[in-house]
């Protein structure tokens, strides 16, 4: 088995629909510029409120990808 190193970054995705959509947005956006994504972990969920109503769902997501020296 070969040895590997993975880098972990933290992202915040947002959605007016749901936390699931917010997390998905974060991962899909990361996939546009990072290669070899491996694991995404939702670490925190919160909401932005206005006038006592939910306006935006937010998901803080840790994403790992294989580290390659460039």
Q: Looking at residue 54, which CATH number applies to its domain?
A: 3.30.1660.10
pLDDT score of 48: 97
Print the domain residue range for 55.
Answer: 6-66
Q: Is 53 inside any structural domain?
A: yes
| Lowest model confidence (mean pLDDT) among 2-6, 10-14, 60-64 | 2-6
Q: Is 46 inside any structural domain?
A: yes
d(CA 68, CA 70): 6
Q: Is 1 inside any structural domain?
A: no
Q: Is 43 inside any structural domain?
A: yes
d(CA 55, CA 39): 28
What domain count does the chain have?
1
Residues near 24 by Cβ (< 8 Å), separated by ≥ 6? Answer: 13, 15
Q: Is 35 inside any structural domain?
A: yes
d(CA 42, CA 34): 18
How much of the chain is in helix, strand and coil states, percent to nearest 5? 20, 55, 25
**36-69 confidence digits (pLDDT tens):** 898 999 999 999 999 999 999 999 999 999 887 7
């Amino acid at each position: 088995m070969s040895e590997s190193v993975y880098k972990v970054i933290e992202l915040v995705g947002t959605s007016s629909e749901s936390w699931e959509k917010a997390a998905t947005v974060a991962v899909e956006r990361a996939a546009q510029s990072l290669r070899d994504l491996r694991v995404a972990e939702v670490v925190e969920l919160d909401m932005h409120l206005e006038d006592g109503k939910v306006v935006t769902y937010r998901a803080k997501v840790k994403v790992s990808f294989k580290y390659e020296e460039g």
